[in-house]
Amino acid sequence: MAKTVEIKKDGVYLDGEKFFLVSGDFHYFRTLPGGWERRLRLMKDFGLTAVTTYVPWNLTEPKRGEYCFDGRANLMLFLELCAKCDLKVILRCSPYLCGEWEMGGLPSWLLKDRTICVRSSDPGYMEAANEYNKVLCDKIRPYLHTNGGPVILVGLENEYGSFGDDLEYLQMLCDFYRNEKIDVPFVSANGVDDFKYINGTLSDNWNGIDHGADPGSIAQFEKLRAFQPDKPLMSGEAWTGQIQFWGRKFYKGGDGVKMAAYFKKALEMGACVNFYMFCGGTNFEFTSGALHSVGNSAYTPLMTSYDYDAPISEEGTPTRKYYALRDVLDEYLGKEKREHIDPDFEIQSIEKITLTESAPLFSNLDNLSDKRVKANRTICMEDLDQNFGFICYRSEIRYTDDRVRHLIIDGLADRATVYIDGKYIGTHLRDAENPDITFTVKKGGSVLTILVENMGRINYGHRIYDYKGILGSVRVNIENADGSFLYNYANNMRFTIDCLPLSDLSKLSYEKGIVKTDTPCFYKGTFDAKAGVDTFCDMGGWRKGCVFVNGFNLGRFWDVGPQRTLYLPGELLKDKDNVIEVFELHSPKGEYEVSCLDHSLLCEEVNNDLLSTDFQLL
């Protein structure tokens, strides 16, 4: 008998039998593979019947035509583990995911074509999307329920009504997947507002709504019922926590009482609930995104941690929310109330890892530069085929006089540290009220160096076309002796540009001892640990940069808060001779050392002034 998945008015049917669907988001790519099964078993024990996950295009096809299904991008292994744990899968396939992920999962190489309209029927975009989707469909087809696998639903696009209204594009995606024999129902999620829902959905698909897991959201189900009376109610995303931004407060540790009330009512209404997130995770490397719609509408980068205050934490342990929500589900299913007993989970602390070697960035440019070009104007990352990391602009300035120069950087994205003849002179931040950076040119000429960090491409809304580096010009206002200014609109020219993705540190030239400097520098040390046991790197004494352990980039740290620790998965650790490398843009506030804790620190006091002297060298 053929295996089938059907959506009827009263629910989901597998092979003709009604299936009780309750699910939660767990993004496999935000956890290393060694931690997948442990988290899946917690989801199964909770009572979930399905796992929801995205597939990030930019991690899967980092360069056009070059695909990656290894390591934390190993989608097939993840699907096999879901089946092993007897969990069905709702696979939100892309091309766009949002998810507070870099550029919403779209690959930045799309931006090299300035004419392209992403997430639309634009032929240039669809050509790239279809190339990718063909590879993806070949990978996922064997895992469909109709072929004996765990995937029961496929999600195409996400929250599309919040971006555009090209319904032809949505239909093209559906038609492509159907032609590739993806024969399970398609689902989508949108806001419940008429504008978002009507512009972002196809009536043939099963459409859910996104909202907070809060009793106040229950009324939105009635509006959804009016939109699609022939299908079950579905919460595409019932938000269990909050997004985590640098420089903004984060609260972790909610008891889940309101969420439990929401869950109880939603189950009674017959709604299929998907909790977002159910498992927290980590934006390893440089994969965190950004928004441009928070507070004062300035660019706001997201943190490395994606703990989200979810029912299962970033490190994979159940929280109070987990048990509060589990009690509701147990009661609904007529199960006996269970004790709240945490599973055995080992985590370690490591005292004081002393860093003993140094590698200054600027003396290692030849070793780290992925591409070097000379140009008479600034060029952005995307035009140099760079996805993530840093880009360094060096410009030779002729000596003409001793007047003070006031630096102007037009189109900065996102954060620049500035140096004249190797001396640090200030920091500029995108969309901020920046300090006046001044310098004079020495006789014989000076070298102006601007190191720009990509802090994460915007992942939501119309500003998703988020180019990185210096998008305009570098120029100076020249101050006369009487305080007036020269009328000057000249550009700085004669740039040497180095692409620094920091994807491979193996060629760094370290020297013994610590170089105490206010310029960017790598510091290295070694340490012993319990192999396979998680921990957290405490970066409380450092200012801004990223941490590598045994060659793997754990992500960014930044002393503006609230995140102080970086999650270090145990599978990265050996018993002996682990290597830690700290890339510090400024200089530490204390000793050149790192400790590891047996708990996270994600809710520290924040410094809302991202340009305060707290992270300038004092």
pLDDT digits (tens, 9 = 90+) for 14-54: 999 999 999 999 999 999 999 999 999 999 999 999 999 99
- What does the alpha-carbon distance between residue 328 and residue 256 come to, in Å, rounded to a whole number? 11
Write out the CATH class of domain 350-358+508-615.
mainly beta
- Closest C-alpha to 217, from 232, 199, 237: 237
Higher-confidence position of 150 and 612: 150
The size of the chain, in residues, is 618
Give yes or no for residue 514 having a pLDDT over 80.
Answer: yes
Q: 595 pairs with which residues across the strands? A: 538
Average pLDDT over residues 119-127: 98
pLDDT at residue 1, as a whole number: 81
Q: In three state form, how does the secondary structure of 339-356 look?
A: CCCCCCCCECCEEEEECC
CATH number of 5-332: 3.20.20.80
Averaged over 454-478, what is the pLDDT?
97
Q: Tell me the pLDDT tens digit for each residue of 353-383.
A: 999 999 999 999 999 999 999 999 999 999 9
Neighbours of 8 (CB within 10 A): 11
Which residues on neighbouring strands pair with residue 54, listed in sequence order?
92
pLDDT at 610 > cutoff 50:
no
- What CATH topology corresponds to 365-500? Jelly Rolls (2.60.120)
- Among the listed residues 269, 165, 175, the one whose alpha carbon sits nearest the alpha carbon of residue 223: 269
List every span in the chain annotated with CATH 2.60.120.260. Answer: 350-358+508-615, 365-500
**Per-residue model confidence (pLDDT) at position 293:** 67
Among this protein's residues, is 315 annotated catalytic?
no
Tell whether the model's pLDDT for residue 143 goes beyond 50.
Answer: yes
Q: What would the mean pLDDT of 50-73 be, rounded to a whole number?
A: 98
Supply the pLDDT for residue 330. Answer: 98
Give the C-alpha separation, 105 to 163, whole Å. 14
Per-residue pLDDT band at 525 (split at 50, 70, 90)? very high
Question: How far is Cα 575 from Cα 557, in angstroms, rounded to an integer?
Answer: 25
- Decide which of 617 and 519 is more confident: 519
Residues 6+ positions from 558 with CB-CB distance below 8 Å: 246, 543, 544, 615
94: pLDDT confidence band, cut at 50, 70 and 90? confident
Average pLDDT over residues 604-612: 66
Pull the structure tokens for residue 87.
């969990």
CATH 3.20.20.80 residue ranges in the chain? 5-332
Active-site residue identified among 61, 100, 102, 237: 237
pLDDT above 90 coverage of the chain, percent:
95
Q: Quick one: pLDDT band at residue 331, thresholds 50, 70, 90?
A: very high
Place 461 in a pLDDT band, splitting at 50, 70 and 90: very high
Residue 612 is predicted with a pLDDT of: 35
Question: Is residue 351 annotated as part of the catalytic site, yes or no?
Answer: no
What mean pLDDT, rounded, does the chain reach?
95
Query: Which whole number is the average pLDDT over 226-253?
Result: 95
Residue 345 has pLDDT above 90, yes or no: yes
User: Which pTM was predicted?
Assistant: 0.96
Spatial separation of the C-alpha atoms in residues 492 and 326, rounded to whole Å: 61
Q: How far is CA 103 from CA 72, 126, 291, 299, in A?
A: 18, 17, 10, 13
Of 262-271, 426-435, 445-454, 497-506, give the lowest mean pLDDT range. Answer: 426-435
Mean pLDDT for the stretch of residues 160-181: 98
Asked whether 274 and 234 are in contact (CB, 8 A), the reply is: yes
Q: Which DSSP helix (H) or strand (E) runs through 417?
A: strand 415-420
Catalytic residue among 100, 102, 157, 159: 159
Work out the pLDDT band at 297, boundaries 50, 70, 90.
low
**For residue range 395-430, what is the model confidence (pLDDT) as tens digits?**
999 999 999 999 999 999 999 999 999 999 999 999
Q: What is the mean pLDDT of residues 524-536?
A: 98
